[in-house]
Each structure stands twice: as structure tokens, then as C-alpha cells.
Chain A
């Protein structure tokens, strides 16, 4: 009886899965076109899965092994089952392999079940709670029905009530794993995830066989020359089809939620929920079925959307509230942590673009900052002619005078901020001590456009970027060095698309190089214990974790690392225009970060970003002092034996404001 029943079950499950797959494909294709190499992508998919994806999953060893056993066992068991039970190739060898595969999968399913016994808050419940049972049903069922094939049980075992029960168990497993995979069950992540990896919008972020695990963090430019091109994303169908596919790949593991600084601060954002809301939007419906943590302060079930309806309503409620989108600091912690390689920040900025460019609804001080950027080229609305006032006594060489130089020092908007001016002065002192040939653009410099872009004002960003690129094109320099990781990211990763390719580095990288070349010498460190805060735009955006630590080590400082450091560093709360839009939460992000600092017992926290400095220094009653790496280096400078004499003559190099 099983011999006739099983092929019917298997092939009808496959047929239903195929129909579901087609329906799902149609849902994704509602999105805007985005050309991807189909065959190349599919060919690259196994490597992207086995190497890049498992590199992220592997951060949790138990879950990684569980997934290998369960998913590997399932893929092998499904293929073998098709041969053995579907097509009738019942050789004992294949049967034995099938037994092995289903047994492996069963073991895996037990670990999945253990994970679900006391699930952490970040995991979604609901249908996900039945997944271990379905996995167990499938693997155990397949194991038992395969026993007769290898001769452990008699052939006529497959008849009677027992066989019916077994067939029912297998049917349950098939339903969850084949049918549910394409019709929207928890296993959807396998189907959508595999295709998402193949057709990812940022193919360059995956490693290749020739090495180079790429980094792809720059936002993609809007086409402003075409008056018909939409300005950002209004409806779910305004995303590109592979973005929609990416949302659908979400496995609701909540690693993003656990890392999100805005969620931790009680601001109304949860990256996982946001992605799930996009899935609701692409299929149409309400978020009532969502079974994970909600946006803080926003109950589940009040929002609904359709593929061609607005995501954010001008009035009232739609799929997502605007303040959810404005809570994001664009720190990329969610993207870094996502095992499905989903691009949350791209999606958030896409939606912000629509709110700013079409609704004209940037919250908080957003409108004022954008107006300032348009009128004065800096967010504070300062006189652009006063950009160099802080350096009136430093006699900085101007690009307009020297025309060419080794190092172009990009000042950034910190030049208008009295706190950051101390950092800049310190770094100038370091450059002079190392006899670096450098110059600044001075009043010709404009804001890099970072804030405008992240507030969604792509038009102002592109206007600033194009004018900066035109200015830079007039001069010759080897590289750009900046004390501002945001400028670093924008100049290095985002100007390329607009026609400006530069070799940019952060001042800590440059100081580390100078030290290694023996051009700097430091007095031994006499202060207390020190910790280091990784700026998001230096670390996660640009992969620079080592140089700042190398500089601190060269200073004789042993860094007392925070629990969340390196690629898991917690944001200071200053990115993405978050201090400008200022969405209220229960706590402040910088307060949480200073609490992290306090946990290490450090008396000083070294930073490398003007935003981080401002945010962390703004914390009331902080136990630790906030100093930029450049300041620490400038304080520790001693004469290098080779050219110390010339340096010691310069009075301006000694002054510290």
C-alpha cells in the first residue's frame, strides 16, 4: 500500500510546491525591475550559502551545527526520497543513505526543539513553534518507511493501519517542508533564501573563489535625471523585485532585533518586524499574524497594507509608521548580523527618500538641516566662509594655493564644532610632527552629503557630491585623510557612482601607517585603563577595526574591550540623522553605550568619529572621559630621533586648545 501511496504523496506535494513557487515568484515580480545575471547568480548561490551565509550563522556554533544537520539532512533526504520512494529506485545502498540522511535530520530537529523549549525573546513564536515537530515528523516518517527498503523490516510492513499512520506522518512532514516552503510557512526561508542569495542586489558583498570577501555598504543613487523615475519607495511594489525577495527570505531569528540600538532604546523600531511588515505588504494583509517582538510601544495588529498601497500614510495608519523609519541610526548592526544577508538599511533609506522628497515630511530638525545644507553647504547653517576659522593660527596650506599635495585633509562639518576642532587641531599637530605633505580645501569644502542622503534627501546629496567632486577634480593628491568616518564612507564608497573615485582613509589608519614607518614616536602611556568605541561608519561600513587598536597599542595602551566591540559595536546613536529627527524612546542610545564603557571599568573611551564624540560626551554623569584617538596621539608625541629638531621649532605644533 505504501508503495502506491508514497509516490502520490511525494509528487502531489511537489506539484503543490511548484504552484506555490510560481505564485510566490509572481508576488516578488510585483517589484520594480532590477537586472541580475540569472545563471551566474544561481551558479554562485551554493558558495554564497556555504561560505558567506555560514560565516554569519557560524557565530553561534550550536545553531550553526543544528542547521547543518537539519538542512543538510533534509536536502539529502528529500533528494534520496524522490529516488527511492518516488521513482522506485529501492536499492539498499540508496536506502541506507536515506536512512542516514533522515537520521541526521532527526538529530538536528531535536536540537531545533531544544532551542524552542525556552526561546529567547528575539525568536518569533507562532508557526515557528511547530517547526521542530514537523521536522521530526518528516525525518522520523521517512526513516521508518525506508526501513523495509534496506530489509530491516519485512516488505509487507507497509500495509494496514500502521502504514496509514506512517503515511499521515510523512504527509505532515511533506506538507510543512514542501508545500509550506512556497506557500508561506516557516520553511519559506529556504526557498526564498536560496533565490535571494542567487539574485542579491549587492552581489559584490559576497566572497569569491579568488578571495576578497567584498564589502558593499554604499547606498545606491536615485536617478534624478529621469522625471518619471520614482523618488524612493512609496508602496511595497516600488522596491526592486530582488529586494522584495530578500524580505521574504527572513527567517525571523531576531538577531537584528538583539543588535538594534533603537530597539534597545525603546524607540519604535524592530528590524525584524520591519522586514516582516514588508512581507505583509508584498502579499497584502494585516500584521496581526506576526508572532515576534513588536515595535516598542506599538501593538501588533493595527497596521495593514497592500502591494500597491502606501507604506506610510500621510495621515492615520498604513503598513509602517514614519517614526519607525526615522528611528534607525543606519548603524548596519542588523545587516551585519543577518544570516540571510537582508539589506535593512537600504530599505529604510529607500522609504525615507519618499517621505522627504515627495511628502516633504522629515521630522524634527530635519527640514531645517536640509534647508541649511541647500543654502550654506553645512547642516548647521554656518557661514561657509568661516569653515577655517578654527585654524586661523595654524597656517594650513590650502589646495587653492598649493594645487597638489600628498594628503588632502578632509575636515568635515566637525570644522564648525568646537569639540571637534580640538580633534582637528590635534591631528594637524600629528601631521606636522610626521612631516606629512598635506593641504586642506578650506572654504571650498562642502558637507559630504552624508546627513542629507540618510535623511532621504537624495537631491541635496547629489548636488553636494557633484560640487565636491568638481572641486576635487581641480587638484592633485594621493589620498584623502579624514577624521570623520561619515565623510570617509561617503567619499570612499558613495562618490564612485557619481564619478569621483578616491583613495580615502581614516586618520587612525593614517596614524598607524606613519607609526609603522617610524615617523612618529610616543611617550609611554601614563593614564588609566582605556576602552575603544568602534564607530559604525569606520567599522561595519569600512571594515577598519585594526588600525585604531594598533595606534592605541603603539601608545602603550592596552584596550579593555567592551562586550560589544568590533563588528558588533553598539552605535552611539549619532548616525543616520537620528539626533536630528530625534524620535523619542524610553532610553537614550548614547547612555546605553556609556554604560557599556562603564562595565569595562575604563576611565577613558577612545573614539574616532565626531558624531560619537558628541553623542558620548553628551551623556550626563558619565564615568569615562571621551577622547579622540588623534588627541591621545598628539598628547603622547615625542620627538622622533631623525627629524626632531625641525619639528621642535614650531610653536603652533605644541599648542593644544
Chain B
């Protein structure tokens, strides 16, 4: 068991930041969810926030990374990784060494693979819990963080998680503060060489722009304004959901296993 966080000491947070991509123009920028993650960390009193990016320093990425510095940071640690490298081992190694209490990251990168798997793989490697879709860190006491997680349709769920942990930020988290030019220009990008593990598969991949998928038109047969609003606000629902309460972990696992089999995820 890790020693409890002593009272008065600051909470060490590392925010993993990536280079974003503007949806219309494709220009580099601070990624929206990562910036929200930085804002989340900044909002915590007594937090000691580190910014960490794994990648290359280029013309395209520097402006975007400086965008994070413009949120009021003196430095950003840049774990040098060549284009196409698997950043996971390097990140895991660095985080393991630095051992922050909380790692905050966006849910999905705006460029590159963008699989959204990084937080889970990282958590698996480090053996830390991962909480997705967080909109607020409400407090940290005795090594346990109280988190607010976003659910569909504006619902929220309060969770407690023992630190260290990885949390991913939902798009509904508070909007990031403005990035100011002065601090962005002054801030330092501290280059740190990282262990490189080349991704051989990636080199053979063929990348092409995504084709817009056809969207089914929603035909709303609503009699009243309330119905129309409900239809507009509704999110797609599976319908066949099932809530298990008061079951043992084994029973729960069995239920999930059965579902995955039924759905054809597991064969």
C-alpha cells in the first residue's frame, strides 16, 4: 500500500497533451479535450501540474504545444518520439518514474491513430485504475479522489477512486481558458529523450481521408413541441440494457461475458 498523501502537500498531476487538429482547416492547435484536461487540473487548488507530450517537435506541433503553455505554464516536457513510434512504452516508463498521483488525458487524439485506447493501455501497464468521461475532480482526500463523471443526456455520476489513477476528460468538462500569447512564447519546451519502440505495423498502413458515412434521416412524428424537443435531445439508446444490482462480482462478470458472447464480440 502506498503511503497516504500527507496533508498540505501538493497533488502531483500530469496532463498528457497532444497536438490537435482543427476540424475545418486541419491546422494544428491544442486538442480540445486535452485543453479541457489542463483546465481541470488548473482548477484544483494545490495541484502541481506537469504537462507531458510524447512526439516530435516540428513547425506544426510547436505552435499547438505552445498553446498549452499559454494557459499559464512555464514549461512542457516533450518526450521525444519519432514519427510513427509507439509512444506507449515511453509514456508508461516516464510516468512510472515520475509517479504522479493523477494523470489526466483526453479521450481520443484529434490526429494520428486516434483510437482512444491510450489511457486504457497505459492503465493496464501501470496497473492503475482508469476513469473515463470525467468532468470535474471535486476533491482529493487521503489518497482518494472524488470525481464527477459525465453520462449521456447531462447525467452525472460521482465516483471515488484511489490514487494514483488515470482519468480521461469528457467534452462536457469546463471549457479551457484562453491561451495567452506572452506565456506561450516564453514557456520552455523541455526535450527529454525517451525509449523508442518503433511500430512496424504502422509503417505499412495506408492512410486516407475518411469518407463521410451516410446518415439515416430521423423522421420525427411528433404531436407537440415537447415531443419534438425530446426527439431532438434524445441520444441513441440500445434498448436492451439491463441493470444488475446486488450481485457478486462473479455473477456480474458472468453476465457481461454472456452479453459479449451474445453480441458476437467474443467467440
State whether B177 touches A383 (Cβ < 8 A): no
- Our pick among B29, B177, B180 for the contact of A358 (Cβ within 8 Å) is B180
A360, B70: Cβ atoms under 8 Å?
Answer: yes
Measured between alpha carbons, how far is A227 from B185 in the docked complex, in Å? 8
Are B25 and A361 in contact, CB atoms less than 8 angstroms apart?
no
**Shortest beta-carbon distance from A353 to chain B in Å:** 9
Which chain A residues lie closer than 8 Å to B70 at the CB level?
360
Q: 1/0 per position for A341-366, CB-CB distance to B under 8 A?
A: 00000000000000011111110001
Q: Does B82 contact A (CB under 8 A)?
A: no
Q: Establish whether residues B29 and A375, one from each chain, have CB atoms under 8 Å apart when the complex forms.
A: yes
Given A367-B178, A375-B22, A376-B22, residue A358 in contact with residue B27 (CB < 8 A) = no
Contact A362 B178 (CB under 8 A): yes
A491 to B29, CA, bound (A): 28
- Residues on the B chain within 8 Å of A371, using CB: 29, 178
Chain B residues within an 8 Å CB radius of A377: 25
A615 to chain B, nearest CB (A): 25
When chains A and B are docked, how far (Å) is the Cα of A366 from the Cα of B175?
A: 13
Interface flags for B178-205 (1: CB within 8 Å of A; 0: not) read: 1111110110000000000000000000
B72 in contact (CB, < 8 A): yes
Cβ-based interface call for B24 (8 A) = yes
Least Cβ distance of A582 to chain B in Å?
A: 16
Shortest Cβ distance from A232 into B: residue: B182
Knowing A367-B178, A376-B22, A459-B181 are in contact, say whether A360-B71 is a contact too (CB < 8 A): yes
B7 CB to nearest A CB, Å: 26
- Chain A residues with Cβ under 8 A from B183's Cβ? 358, 360
User: Which of A231, A360, A383 is within 8 Å of B179, CB to CB?
Assistant: A360
Q: Is A381 in contact with chain B by the CB < 8 A criterion?
A: yes
Contacts of A360 on B, CB cut-off 8 Å?
70-72, 177-180, 183
A361 touches B22 (CB 8 A): no
Q: How far is the CA of A222 from the CA of B25 in the complex (A)?
A: 28
Q: Considering the chains assembled together, what is the distance between the CA atoms of A384 and B22 in angstroms?
A: 12
Contact present for A381 and B24 (CB under 8 Å)? yes
Complex contact A375–B179 (CB within 8 A) = no
| Mask of B78-111 contacts with A, CB within 8 angstroms, 1/0 | 0000000000000000000000000000000000
Tier of interface size on chain A: 20 to 34
- The answer for the CA separation of A359 and B71 in the assembled complex, in Å, is 9
Beta-carbon contact of B24 and A383 below 8 Å = yes
A376 touches B24 (CB 8 A): yes
* Bound CA span A191–B25, Å: 56
Report Cα–Cα, A227/B186, bound state, in Å: 8
B148 to chain A, nearest CB (A): 24
Please measure, in the bound complex, the distance between the C-alpha atom of A361 and the C-alpha atom of B182, giving whole angstroms: 12
Residue of A360, A361, A362 with highest tally of chain B CB at under 10 A: A360
What's the Cα separation between A381 and B27 when bound, in Å? 13
> B180 contacts which chain A residues (CB < 8 A)?
356-361
Residues of B within 8 A of A358 (CB): 180-183
Q: Which of A231, A361, A459 contacts B178 (CB 8 A)?
A: A361
Q: Which of B27, B71, B182 has the most CB of A within 10 A?
A: B182
Distance of A218 Cα from B212 Cα, bound (Å): 46
Q: How far is the CA of A356 from the CA of B70 in the complex (A)?
A: 11
Please name all residues of chain A whose beta carbon is closer than 8 Å to the beta carbon of B177 when the two chains form the complex: 360, 367
B-side contacts of A359, CB under 8 Å? 180
A455 CA to B263 CA in the complex, in Å?
Answer: 55
Residues from chain A with a CB closer than 8 A to the CB of B25 are 375-377, 383-384
Q: Which of B27, B71, B72, B182 interacts with A231 by CB under 8 Å?
A: B182
Per-position 1/0 for A433-459, Cβ under 8 A of B: 000000000000000000000000101
Q: A355 CA to B181 CA in the complex, in Å?
A: 10
B182 to chain A, nearest CB (A): 4
Pairwise interchain contact B181-A457, C-beta atoms closer than 8 A: yes
> Chain B residue with minimal CB distance to A460?
B181
Q: How far is the CB of B171 from chain A (nearest CB, A)?
A: 16
Instruction: Collect the chain A residues with CB atoms within 8 Å of residue B178's CB.
Output: 356, 360-362, 366-367, 370-371
- The closest CB in chain B to the CB of A377 belongs to B25
Which B residues are in CB contact (< 8 Å) with A375?
Answer: 22, 24-25, 27, 29
| Bound form: Cα–Cα A459–B178 in Å | 14
B51-76 to A contact mask, C-beta < 8 Å, 1/0: 00000000000000000001110000
In the bound complex, how far is the Cα of B183 from the Cα of A358, in angstroms? Answer: 6
Chain B hits for A227, CB < 8 A: 185-186
Candidates B27, B71, B72, B181; contact of A357 at CB < 8 Å: B181
For this complex, 27 residue pairs linking A to B, each with C-beta atoms less than 8 Å apart, are A227-B185, A231-B181, A356-B178, A356-B180, A356-B181, A357-B182, A358-B182, A358-B183, A360-B177, A360-B179, A360-B180, A361-B178, A361-B180, A362-B178, A367-B177, A367-B178, A371-B178, A374-B27, A374-B29, A375-B22, A375-B25, A375-B27, A375-B29, A376-B25, A381-B24, A382-B24, A457-B181
Known: A356-B178, A360-B183. 18 other contacts (CB 8 A): A227-B185, A227-B186, A231-B181, A356-B180, A358-B182, A359-B180, A360-B72, A360-B180, A361-B180, A371-B29, A371-B178, A375-B24, A375-B27, A376-B24, A376-B25, A383-B24, A384-B24, A384-B25
Which residues of A pack against B, CB within 8 Å? 227, 231, 356-362, 366-367, 370-371, 374-377, 381-384, 457, 459
B interface residues (Cβ-Cβ under 8 A, vs A): 22, 24-25, 27, 29, 70-72, 177-183, 185-186
Please list the 3 inter-chain residue pairs (A to B) with the smallest Cβ-Cβ separation, ordered nearest first. Answer: A360-B180, A367-B178, A360-B178
